[in-house]
Amino acid sequence: MAPRPIYYDTETTGLKPSRDRIIEIAAYDVEKDLTFCSFVNPEGPIPSESSAISGITDEMVKDALPFNKVGPAFAEFCSGDVVLIAHNNDNFDKPFLENEYSRAGHPMPNWLYLDTLKWARKYRPDLPRHSLQILREVFGIEANQAHRALDDVYILHQVFTRLIDDLSWDDILRLMNQSSEISRMPFGKFAGKPLSDVPKDYVGWLAKSGAFDKKENTALRDQFATLGLLGG
């Protein structure tokens, strides 16, 4: 059985997980249709430049619980066989979680993770940029309060739903973790289709558009060449 997807997001006092702190964390459990959202007291002042981005001020978090109290509640919300999904997960949200759980002296659950930024870069090289707000605009999703955790989580869920189309979670995790062997089209109008079923003229169009010039699509290009759908 595939893990249960939980979309999540963190707002922080800065960009360095080893130094900065989480000030808000939110999550959306799609299967259970439940949400988690909590301010986190960083036990220190929030820099003005961070407040300018997130809109979260010292006054808003002064009565919030510190992470050593919020962390266990978040872990309980994300209990079971789950995959935590965030945009720039590997370089931002996950390291912040790891540092916060370490500071609090709590063991961090052994979750699976999926980085939707890496997915978008890997399987939608046709897009010039892959920030969450750019993807929102590309897919025509209505704007909400950007840079607040739960709002970003809802946007992320809608964006990733469009990125994956009708792929199963087994296929999603396999595609995200694969290194070179590709059997199904990972993006575009034929996403999820066996590579052998992708029309040759579409493969040619991808080549002319520069999609295969991206290093993340080298394996896809080679597989199309092996199938005789590219070159020659």
For residue 49 the two structure tokens come to 């430049």
> Superfamily for 4-172?
Ribonuclease H-like superfamily/Ribonuclease H (3.30.420.10)
Query: What pLDDT is recorded for position 213?
Result: 84
Interval 145-203: pLDDT, tens: 666 789 999 999 999 999 998 888 888 888 877 644 567 888 888 888 888 889 999 99
Domain ranges of the chain: 4-172, 182-226
- Alpha carbon distance 176, 115 (integer Å): 9
Q: Model confidence over 133-147: pLDDT tens digits?
A: 999 999 999 987 666
Q: What is the pLDDT of residues 75-103, one digit of tens each?
A: 999 999 999 999 999 989 999 999 999 99
| pLDDT at residue 180, rounded to an integer | 45
User: How are beta strands 82-86 and 34-39 bridged, if at all?
Assistant: unpaired
Q: How far apart are CA 24 and CA 223, in angstroms?
A: 43
Type of residue at 123: Y
The alpha helices in 78-128, defined as continuous H runs, are 94-104, 116-123
User: The tokens of 211 are what?
Assistant: 């999609």
Burial 201-227 (b: 16+ CB within 10 A, else e): eebeebbeeebbeeeebebbbebbeee
Residue entry with tokens 């990972």:
186
- Residues taking part in catalysis: 147
Main-chain phi, psi angles of 219, to 5 degrees: -65, -40
Amino acid 32 reads K
